[in-house]
Structure 1
């Protein structure tokens, strides 16, 4: 290991939406601070570089998903994954952020030392080299799921299948599915985008689901968005469209949660109108749960419904009994023959990218700590974590988090503080799920993420409007401990100076 650590005031882990956004906000407000982004992959993009399956796209509008300081210039209101990755690459280059990225750098552990108020990160590269990075503040833009291990349920007999079995998280570029029978297991956002893309060249595509999912169709290009963009300058139109789309998202969610019966009726009737007369909508498109108990899936330009109507795709609602050499045998006794099986079975939650966190020589479990104001962890100094919304675009909260971190760093600099952390103290705090959905990946691992309390500032909410208000009137000293590291020449004799505010 190289014992000479590279130092930066701020270390950012991840060069996806969260990391690029954090770099911009932190530097914009604190130009005197140096920063370095450590990215495990070889390219910018995070999620949008990892997932490369056919049809990969955003499951929310691109204007709320894009960065508020970098206008989206393409015509789409819903964007393909490759275009999102290119957009992030251009944004990083435009603002000089790309010069601060160290690619092919896998952070294995992060160690905090209170005697120097600094983090030391132990990293490795693909060729086995190791390197240390040191910094005052640490920002995790690592997302919330395991990049290495998707969810793979046991399917009896899957090893007997004679064709290809692939998971969308590791889509092989060499896979040839043209003219073949493809079965996609699952009915979440991945399956909904995969099936129409595969159906363009496959002989036939079957979406095999245990139970239906709520789906709503959205236009790839929104005429209202186009009108706003033609009428206003680029930066202003980007802000206006972003605000308009965020408001629509918030109001739609509120409406469907407050009037679920009417919402179910509305979604059902729109689905009936999109499918052939006599299609069994209630079997294949009528979920057992209420709208937004799970995240709503987006059908783009009615593509899934059109492929079903034209016979290139179908939905089968049943359970898998076993897999044999030529396909899948269902519990009902029916079978679905296949040449390719795609297991779109979901992801697995993971906190802080699976990185080992050590504070003053003691390893801590982030899932044992409460989250403060949705971005700091209880009693962990100088460390922020970015987590998005379950009911709106990730970037709406990611940008709020980045601005909050930038504000905290500016406050620390102006007061000469070298460490800061939230402290709950001995106050009792009830716990609630950090993610408020009933999706399978959350139900499988309810304690995989840091904890949410039940009241602020320890409550992880999924309410963009209330968060905006809190952010605007935030009292940065609330339940925080601030202090300075001991002077190096007297660290054995003097305790660090600290202040705590309630």
Structure 2
């Protein structure tokens, strides 16, 4: 992967281009700079600032749904509370950027319009739209690393219901929370009951007249304490911060791994445990089975964290309530339900989820031929069949996203190191002779995970095979040993 010096001098060619300055892109940039301090790279971010999810989400109470001892990077100990606010996470990322000298490498307001691979030139050519500029910028790179996450930051998912135009209040989506929205003293209906709703409702309950969580069907919630039981004793020992971080990281991994194991092996025991957590913190006589007992098994969709049971506390206080029903229509003053009930509202928050994107929504082509992702399979959830010199980051559904980021960064850097050692310019995941006729399976098996945003996107996502190394969506407990054991010279990677 030699650098073209003439291109480097005029500032348009890079050894590596990272797309996205969220937690994945910042992590990838750290690894590239640490491993190859003399190589030229840049991080391109479409938005005005770093953070990805944590830049987009500005709604009241925005916080992590995973503990920060595992959501934080392995190379940078997390010093705060296990559950952190969006502001705290952005400060952590700002420290990471500063401590690693990454700021000069990040280019904000750079949205990738297209990416084309040239086999003759052995490089990617990217067309970039820049905020405040009319002309399109062209950059080239020897290796492209897609770290844009998996959902559309620009367009949220909001269903259309009859009568929405007649509603005289405001309808907002958490992904695009208006800076001027003041809910003080308002009647608020939050449509949805996932992680976002579980975060919003306790925060809103402190200021509104009343907030109602309106759900079509129930969600599982976990009401664990905000801090791990080991946290206070460890901090009292005044251990080195790195020790405390590593012990708590391992403790959170062990606890989460046990929950994931139960979700597959003893799902009804886990169901009973989660329902009892809710029942013990809700008012006597509350219909827990109607409102908090989903039809699906635990972790077939995300289990939403409500630290210290804050959602249940809001319900106990009388400032929040739960309604399980279908929306028939909106009218001028609120929402009419299929049961005939009417929910009065001044503000309706559509916490109805998001839309998945394939690799940041960027159109790709190879030698001028458009890439149809539905015809490609993944290589270990890190690269894609037939796409040269391209890697991507996709985290876990049941464990912290960053646990997989750390593993992926290690693997990608080992592949790049192998290329440098052997003098290779190109690496392409390539089906082997024994893979001929291999069944191509959906990006996600709905029996494994069937959240709405997954089912809505299956038709445009890439595929997976029925064998290694063409599978993905594995659990951390499997990959924590499997990915470090992958040899960069395995026969599914073709170098030239």
TM-score where L is the length of structure 1: 0.93
Alignment of 1:107-118 (within 5 A): 107-118=112-123
Match of 1:453 in 2: 465
Match of 1:260 in 2: 267
1:226 CA displacement? 3.3
Pair 1:161 & 2:167 matched:
yes
Q: Which moved more, 1:28-37 or 1:183-192?
A: 28-37
Match of 1:439 in 2: 451
1:204 to 202, 206, 210: 210
SS at the partner of 1:10?
strand
1:235 to 224, 231, 242: 242
Aligned-partner Cα distance in 2 for 1:402–1:225? 29
Aligned-partner Cα distance in 1 for 2:13–2:243? 38
1:121 to 123, 126, 138: 126
Pair 1:372 & 2:379 matched:
yes
Aligned-partner Cα distance in 1 for 2:319–2:493? 61
Aligned-partner Cα distance in 2 for 1:28–1:482? 26
Pair 1:274 & 2:281 matched:
yes
Pair 1:428 & 2:437 matched:
yes
2:198 to 189, 192, 197: 192
Match of 1:495 in 2: none
Q: 1:34 to 1:156 in 2, by over 3 A?
A: same
SS at the partner of 1:434?
coil
Q: Which moved more, 1:241-250 or 1:326-335?
A: 241-250
Aligned length: 481
Match of 1:309 in 2: 316
Q: Deviations over 1:16-50 (max 9, x none)?
A: 11001111112222333221100111111011101
Q: Deviations over 1:87-143 (max 9, x none)?
A: 111111111112210111111111111112111111011224321111100000011
Aligned-partner Cα distance in 2 for 1:128–1:384? 29
SS at the partner of 1:120?
strand
1:146 to 136, 148, 152: 152
Aligned-partner Cα distance in 2 for 1:194–1:429? 45
Pair 1:323 & 2:330 matched:
yes
Q: 1:217 to 1:353 in 2, by over 3 A?
A: same
2:291 to 284, 289, 298: 284
Aligned-partner Cα distance in 1 for 2:492–2:278? 50
Pair 1:470 & 2:475 matched:
no
Contact 2:411–2:484 (CA under 8 A) maintained in structure 1 = no
1:431 CA displacement? 2.9
1:268 CA displacement? 1.5
1:227 CA displacement? 2.6
1:246 CA displacement? 1.4
Aligned-partner Cα distance in 2 for 1:413–1:222? 43
1:5 CA displacement? 5.7
Alignment of 1:382-397 (within 5 A): 382-397=389-404
1:252 CA displacement? 1.1
1:93 to 98, 104, 124: 98
1:219 CA displacement? 2.2
Match of 1:491 in 2: none
TM-score where L is the length of structure 2: 0.94
Aligned-partner Cα distance in 2 for 1:481–1:309? 57
Alignment of 1:353-368 (within 5 A): 353-368=360-375
Q: Which consecutive residues of structure 2, in runs of 5 or more, have no partner in the other structure?
A: 1-9
Q: Which moved more, 1:209-218 or 1:362-371?
A: 362-371
Aligned-partner Cα distance in 1 for 2:22–2:177? 19
Q: Which moved more, 1:442-451 or 1:284-293?
A: 442-451
